[in-house]
Structure 1
Amino acid sequence: MASHVRVSKKAALLALIAATGVSLAPIPAAADGRTAPQPALSTAGEQAVTAPGIPRLPGGLSALSWLVADAETGSVLAARSPHRKLAPASTLKTLFAVTVLPKFSAGAVRQVSSADLDGIGSGSSVVGIQQGRRYTVADLWRGVFLRSGNDAVHVLASMNGGWQTTAREMQQTARRLGAHDTTVKSPDGYDAPGQVSSAYDLTVFARAGLANDDFARYCATARATFPGAGGSTTIENTNRLLAGSHGMSRYPGIIGVKNGYTSKAGNTLIAAARRNGRTLLVTVLNPQSAVPNAVYKEAGALLDWGFGTAGSTQPVGTLHAVNAAYHGGPMRPVAAQATGAETRESSPWRPALVLGAGGAGLAVVALGALLARWRQPRPTGRRGDGG
């Protein structure tokens, strides 16, 4: 569990391995333990292997960019313009969480100052953080993941040393994960000049995040309580595939991750689901269809296609930088989440980062987790936009 006062033995071991210059095997691996060769992922056009017995891609996909990947092996099963640089909206909060979440314990308390809430962009989604009130870090992360609260992001960024410091750290994290399409200007995902990401990078961020129990638990929570003006109030996740709201049914096996919307980005979504022993990630950016809930419907169709391949399709590329390994059996946590309950056992993921091709920078991530043991929160003001 992420904390600024303790670090997992595994993170320490990874840092130690990196320090000695030992490189772990690239991923994904073949069944016999040898490295499986992966084709290069093209930057444009629709890519999927067509062969007898492999389902055809769903029709009606209008998104400017999308990607389907196996979360455990890192294999990219199909994609359209996966490296196209687009505004990410609040899906960029996945990178924010990967960067900041490990630094502070869930029970740490922050009394919110006016400086913490300075600079929230006009029209931002907020969870209702109030100046002068005390919130636990867990409260703030529920505000980020469920309500996409830019006010919660701003408070956490203040704890992390400020808005610009956080943006720089997010940029560094992206590069360490092998995500080279991303430029961070506003950590909450609010539209800002020059801020872009891609379906490929966002899938990498979500995959890395799911290797953290706390990230996986927050992003899988459909409903939770949050401190309100008159006491606790119930907040619902804005991810309609997870909450089963606004005309959408809860997707079978859904385990998160994050949705977003801005006028520049349009609708964006990273969705993860697990069925029949397989976990898939789908990222969909800016559908052009006028169909209601298009981003959710297209993501659901791509998940259906991926599960329908039953492992028969051949990959068209790989998320080479990080491997988030699943450990466990049936998706009991999904059943728990269907009730909207948030429990400590709600995460189906266990931390397991493996260095891969181009992933030597993950040694720095592991070392950073080790150093975070001694790092204290640094309350300070900062400026920035909301998202």
Structure 2
Amino acid sequence: MPAPKKTTRRSLLVTSAVLTSLALAAPAALAAPKPSGSPSASPSATPPASMSTVGGARLGKPGTQVNLASGVPVLPKDLSARSWIVADAESGDVLAAHNAHWRLAPASTLKMLFADTLLPRFPRDTKHKVVPSDLAGIGPGSSMVGIKEDETYTVHDLWLGVFLQSGNDAVHVLSAMNKGVENTVQDMNEHAEELQALDTHVVSPDGYDAEGQVSSAYDLTLIARSGMQKKDFREYASTVTAKFPGETKKDKKGKKVRKPFEIRNTNRLLAGDADVPVYQGIAGVKNGNTTNAGATFTGVAERGGKVLLVTVMNPEKPEHNEVYKETARLFDWGFKAAGKVQPVGELVPPKGAAQASAQPGANPSGEAGGSGDGAGGTAGTGSKPVAGAPAADGSSGIGTALGITGGVLVLLAGGAFLVNRRWPLPDLVRRRTRP
């Protein structure tokens, strides 16, 4: 790991609003994303005997860590992932973990850190015309959303490309807007340090396999928890389908037209697949798949008043969509075990969180303001667009996981924090069964 750099303090926003949405039907089967990334040194077959103890001593031990007792359900027996973690997103309690701090290649789950770092910097309606240098250095075999040179995109378009299609082209364009890839990598490493995600070292902002690029199930869970503090992050992470601007062409009459095309989230627990149903209560977050990392995934879901985060890294079973299947089983266990199992550790707060909340007159929820909705500013009022209907900002075809069969979405009202939260998690979507 490189020497620590100067950290940047991030403030955290709690917004209050109420969202409603119609139910989403499970989509048709989707083609599985192909692994991207160049081969590099294979990770060790076994975890180190001693790992980081951030969050608790037991999290630094190899193997499965869980406090089984009377009334606590037994963990699923068919888990093959090298590393995984189940945590309460609100309290920060780690309910169970397996090699939580094993430093492994993260694949595109690293895009959560990219988004958490850069989302507050550009209003969503900012426009950018793509030049050839913006797309330089994208690795062969990368997942792409289909950005074209000399075309203009809004920041909103680019983030849809990052979250839904895991587009490395969108990451590179946003990095170019952030003074380049090198500067973005530095910003991401500094933000990881601020979050105390100390297993993480960024080399490529898109998660493409690179020598020395690592994270851990623990860190990815910390990063997801931080990202979910941001309104825009939550929105993009839960979007199932959207319209993305196409290439400008001439029609039969010689008139220039630019038709959009539909993109769909590659998170199978959110969008569904032939062998993976949409997971009840899912609200994001991000999946990944590269040659070196294998399949990786971090998800957040709510059920019965509990909000859980689960990260799964590199299942060894070769079955199709195995990373989602193991994640779903861990979610099921977590919801049954929550309130019964004693935690084995905790998700630590960012370095600056306690100091910021202790300042007189400070807003303990204050995500960077003054830049509007698109930059993580104050949430607006009213409803989200119905799945497939035009959005208020003129975009169309945006369907979100903010509605599932038999469910209604409600945000925590008034920005109130639950008691005993070590680090408050604001207004996560909550689904309540209709009578």
Partner of 1:377: none
Which string of whole-angstrom CA distances, capped at 9 and with x for unpartnered residues, describes residues 142-187 of structure 1? 0000000000000000001100100011000001001110110000
What residue identity is the alignment partner of 2:207?
A: G
In structure 2, the residue matched to 1:29 is none
Partner Cα distance (1:57, 1:157) in 2: 41
Q: Residue deviations 1:26-49, cap 9 Å, x none?
A: xxxxxxxxxxx9765233110011
Equivalent residue for 1:66, pick from 78, 84, 89: 84
Residue 306 of structure 1 corresponds to 334
Aligned CA-pair RMSD: 3.3
Between the aligned partners of 2:65 and 2:319, the Cα distance in structure 1 is 24
Pair 1:43-2:71 in alignment: no
Return the match for 2:325 from 297, 306, 331: 297
Equivalent residue for 1:133, pick from 148, 151, 157: 151
SS of 1:301's equivalent? helix
The Cα offsets for residues 309-360 of structure 1, whole Å up to 9 and x where unpaired, read as: 14211110001124899xxxxxx9999679962499989589899xxxx99x
Q: Deviations over 1:243-275 (max 9, x none)?
A: 012421100000000000000000000011011
Residue 216 of structure 2 aligns with an amino acid whose one-letter code is S
Q: 1:239: which partner in 2?
A: 267
Structure 1 runs, 4 residues or longer, greater than 4 Å off: 8-12, 37-40, 322-325, 332-340, 342-353
Q: Which residue of 2 is the match for residue 383 of structure 1? A: none
> Which residue number in structure 2 is paired with residue 101 of structure 1?
119
Of the two, which has the highest radius of gyration? 2
Structure 2 unaligned segments of length 5 or more: list them. Answer: 1-9, 15-54, 248-257, 354-363, 366-381, 390-397, 404-408, 424-435
Whole-angstrom CA distance in 2 between matches of 1:271 and 1:197: 16
- 2:95–2:343 CA contact under 8 A, matched in 1: yes
Q: Does the CA-based 8 Å contact 1:86-1:196 persist in structure 2?
A: yes
Which AA in structure 2 matches 1:223? Answer: T
Matched position secondary structure for 2:90: coil
Matched, 1:341 2:359: no
Per the normalisation by structure 2, the TM-score is 0.68
CA–CA distance in 2 between the matches of 1:253 and 1:334? 17
Equivalent position amino acid for 1:202 in 2: L
- Structure 1: stretches of 5+ with no match in the other structure: 1-7, 13-36, 326-331, 360-387
**What pairs with 1:91-240 in structure 2 (closer than 5 Å)?**
91-229=109-247, 230-240=258-268
Amino acid aligned to 1:194: G
Number of aligned residue pairs: give it: 320
Equivalent-residue separation in structure 1 for 2:412 and 2:244 (angstroms): 25
Structure with greater proportional helix content: 1
SS state at 1:231 partner: coil
1:222 and 1:338 in contact (8 A); partners too: no
Find the partner of 1:251 among 264, 272, 279. Answer: 279
Identity %: 50
Q: What is the TM-score when the length of structure 1 is the normalising length?
A: 0.76
